[in-house]
A and B are shown apart, each in its own frame.
Chain A
Amino acid sequence: MGAVKQSNNFVLGLWDHEEVFLHAIEHIRHDGLEIYETLTPFPVHGLENALGYRETRLHTAGFLFGATGTTLALSFMTWVMAFNYPLNFGGKPYWPLPSFIPITFELTVLFSAWGMVLTYCVRNKLIPGYVPRIYEPRTTDDRFALVFDIEGKSAEEIEKIKSLCNGNGAVEVKNRTFKDGE
């Protein structure tokens, strides 16, 4: 996105079975190849482990959003109730902390939930107006795909990728080229 120029040349390896696909990923990663993208028709158990993804940091983001909500709620109510427009409610103190707590809690949850959802969507490019690239239509049906970036790679390296895919049970290996702006 943006300044970084996106690669247009890819090699696709297609598998038709989940287990074989998982093993193939392990072998391919073991041989030091970099996988650009993984596409599956359904969530595959253990895929993130096989791909070596680190644990998500989404919950840390959730905590920070929640803390923002807490701070905002408390400081806003303090400002309103104690400084800007102090009113006497039944003789309560001007800074009635216990009655702030439920609202603080609600705002913490609200910020945390919305923040996490939006962060998730943005990180996964699920924002409105973004048109995703379709590498292979059958990945929404019955094919598991590995995408390799071959931009600037020599013919030997490309051949190695293809042979590794074939050697690990891929049912189909092909090139996929996009035009600019596609």
Chain B
Amino acid sequence: MVEKFEFDSKLKKNLFIMMGVGLLGLIWAFFANGVHDNHSRFWSNILLNTYYFTGMGIFGIFFVSANQLGYSGWITLVKRVYMSLSGFVVVGAVFAAIIVGGVWGGYHNLYEHWSLEANMKELPNVKQAFFNKGFWTARVVIYFTLWILVGKAVISAINAKNIGDQKVYKRSKLMAALWIVVFAVSESFVSWDMVMSQDPHWYSTLFGWYNFASYGCGGFAMAILLVIFLKSRGYLQQVNENHIHDMGKYMFAFSIFWTYLWFSQFMLQWYANLPEDTNYWVKRFDVPTFKFTIFLALTINFAAPLLLFIKRGAKRNLKVAAFIAVLVIFGHYVDFFNMTMFEPNLLPAGQEECCKKGEGKEEKKEAALAGGTVLYAQADAGTAKGTVGKTLVTPEKGSTDANTAEGKSANEAAAQTEGEAKETKSEEAKGGEKVCCAGMGKGECKEHMAACKEGEGKEGEEACGGRQTKASLGLPELLTFVGFLGMFLYMFFNEFSKDSTFNENDPYLKESLRHHVEYA
């Protein structure tokens, strides 16, 4: 009766091939952008994947803990699938150690805004106390230690063979509660430390929640895929479309929850239009790649589940569920890509500046900066009269009344840049090289100009006028993702094969075996 997953050598071989592909991707990313950029593509890829997969892992334990506390029965058959997702956390710790090593070893790609002494001094005092290498390292070590040690204790408490015993069962609930506390705190903190701190001047108070929702979508999607895979291998035959239905409901609900948080973050910052908030969005919308990926993530993570997965029949169809799960996993990869890839791959300050300015450099720079800190600045007169015949408010007056002093200057600045952008474009090519390369070596200048040109070709004035980032959703990213996925699956199967596929002594097993979703 006790069934145990057999981690056969063929599967292992396939996963090792995936890992090899990933290694190739990492090596590629290491050299992809030339040596001058300090291998930022390599570091940001490691961070992105480590963060994403570790998040899925710790979320798996969280989900089971929440169900354990809620006396939920349906999940009993697949509890071990969710909990085994956390097998990756150990590997995540290794990669986190590499990231920490990089920060100490002079690779300031990921956290240059505070890992470089000079940059850190620009932060407010309170933030300096928080974002310094020593304290940061201590926190990262604490998170991973807690996850590995407490995670193991929680898993073994819930997997206990004598869980039918009242005392053991109570202990499993206690451990589940402990995990929820540990997870809630560490998950928020790790999102600030590892992702939000890439730009320590920017902050969002619901960033932890937002990342939590992303972990959730990824974890649920991964669990659905793995259960379907295990079923196709002849394991977990008692799991039927009723269980998949409920797992799918969670994935669907978390997709909507993610959108809610994404939008809450975006809308409030858009609405307030404060430069320190909108900074995050303006920078990304400036770069065509990120403008695309932000809307791509929104489409895949919200529109696709909403439209394709809302029907009962879709959730009960294993093929549709697997398809949506793959979409969601990719979608949240893209979402984390938006968060983690931008800052590290940003071209060093000053480099992008030369691309658009041939002459009259100083004024235009100011204008662009002022215009670039707000998400929108209505250049009034023209638009108002163009679209509307019977405006009751005098345009000029209406716009400035409500604005603060900065807002006003931003308005003017935006109008100015708009008008002048066209002229500058033709001139920049000619005068560019001389102005830009002042004080540079010959080789340096060449590289520098090439970087400028690259940005220029992409979307004319927009790319050149704004910031440029080397990040792209290219082949190195894909290969690295495949490699991490292979590692994740390896650790999953490794963890999953340690014990029977489900705890046959769980007091709620019968409920799970009979689980049936009525019309709802």
Q: Which residues of A contact B (CB under 8 A)?
A: 55-56, 82-83, 85-94, 98-99, 101-102
Contact of B130 with A by CB under 8 A: no
Q: Chain B 352-390, CB within 8 Å of chain A: the 1/0 string?
A: 000000000000000000000010111010011001100
Do B376 and A93 touch (CB < 8 A)?
A: yes
Which residue of the partner chain B has the closest CB to A100?
A: B267
Q: Chain B 408-423, CB within 8 Å of chain A: the 1/0 string?
A: 0011000000000000
A-chain residues with CB within 8 Å of residue B270 when the two chains form the complex: 98-99
Do B378 and A88 touch (CB < 8 A)?
A: yes
Do B407 and A99 touch (CB < 8 A)?
A: no
Do B391 and A91 touch (CB < 8 A)?
A: no
Do A87 and B393 touch (CB < 8 A)?
A: yes
Q: Report the minimum CB–CB distance from B258 to chain A (whole Å).
A: 15
A-chain residues with CB within 8 Å of residue B383 when the two chains form the complex: 94
Given A55-B519, A82-B387, A83-B388; A91-B376 close (CB under 8 Å)? yes
| Number of chain B residues close to chain A: CB under 8 A | 27
Given A91-B376, A94-B388; A99-B398 close (CB under 8 Å)? no
Do A92 and B376 touch (CB < 8 A)?
A: yes
Q: Report the minimum CB–CB distance from B448 to chain A (whole Å).
A: 36
Do B399 and A86 touch (CB < 8 A)?
A: no
Q: Which residues of B contact A (CB under 8 A)?
A: 263, 266-267, 270-271, 273, 374, 376-378, 380, 383-384, 387-388, 391-393, 395, 398-399, 402-403, 407, 410-411, 519
Which residue of the partner chain A has the closest CB to B269?
A: A98
Which residue of the partner chain A has the closest CB to B273?
A: A90
Which of A82, A83, A102 touches B267 (beta carbons < 8 Å)? A102
Which of A83, A87, A88, A101 touches B263 (beta carbons < 8 Å)? A101
Most buried by B among A55, A88, A89, A101: A88
Q: Report the minimum CB–CB distance from A95 to chain B (whole Å).
A: 9
A-chain residues with CB within 8 Å of residue B378 when the two chains form the complex: 88, 91-94
Q: How far is the CA of A177 from the CA of B497 in the complex (A)?
A: 69
Do B402 and A89 touch (CB < 8 A)?
A: yes
Which residue of the partner chain B has the closest CB to A95?
A: B387
Do B395 and A88 touch (CB < 8 A)?
A: yes
Task: Provide 7 A-B residue pairs closer than 8 Å at the C-beta atoms, listed in order of the A residue.
Answer: A82-B388, A89-B402, A91-B273, A91-B411, A94-B378, A94-B387, A98-B266
Given contacts A83-B388, A98-B263, 11 further A-B contacts (CB under 8 A): A56-B519, A88-B395, A88-B402, A90-B273, A91-B399, A92-B378, A93-B376, A94-B383, A94-B384, A99-B271, A102-B267
B-chain residues with CB within 8 Å of residue A85 when the two chains form the complex: 392
A-chain residues with CB within 8 Å of residue B398 when the two chains form the complex: 87-88
Which of B273, B388, B410 touches A86 (beta carbons < 8 Å)? B388
Most buried by B among A82, A89, A91: A91
Given A82-B387, A99-B267; A90-B402 close (CB under 8 Å)? yes
Do B391 and A86 touch (CB < 8 A)?
A: yes
Most buried by B among A55, A82, A85, A86: A86
Q: Report the minimum CB–CB distance from B276 to chain A (whole Å).
A: 16
A-chain residues with CB within 8 Å of residue B519 when the two chains form the complex: 55-56
Q: How far is the CA of A101 from the CA of B383 in the complex (A)?
A: 23
Q: How far is the CA of A89 from the CA of B273 in the complex (A)?
A: 12
Q: Report the minimum CB–CB distance from A110 to chain B (whole Å).
A: 17
Q: Report the minimum CB–CB distance from A87 to chain B (whole Å).
A: 6
A-chain residues with CB within 8 Å of residue B271 when the two chains form the complex: 92, 98-99
A-chain residues with CB within 8 Å of residue B374 when the two chains form the complex: 91
A-chain residues with CB within 8 Å of residue B411 when the two chains form the complex: 91
Do B407 and A91 touch (CB < 8 A)?
A: yes
Q: How far is the CA of A86 from the CA of B399 in the complex (A)?
A: 12
B-chain residues with CB within 8 Å of residue A55 when the two chains form the complex: 519
Q: How far is the CA of A6 from the CA of B380 in the complex (A)?
A: 67
Q: How far is the CA of A101 from the CA of B393 in the complex (A)?
A: 25
Do B387 and A86 touch (CB < 8 A)?
A: yes
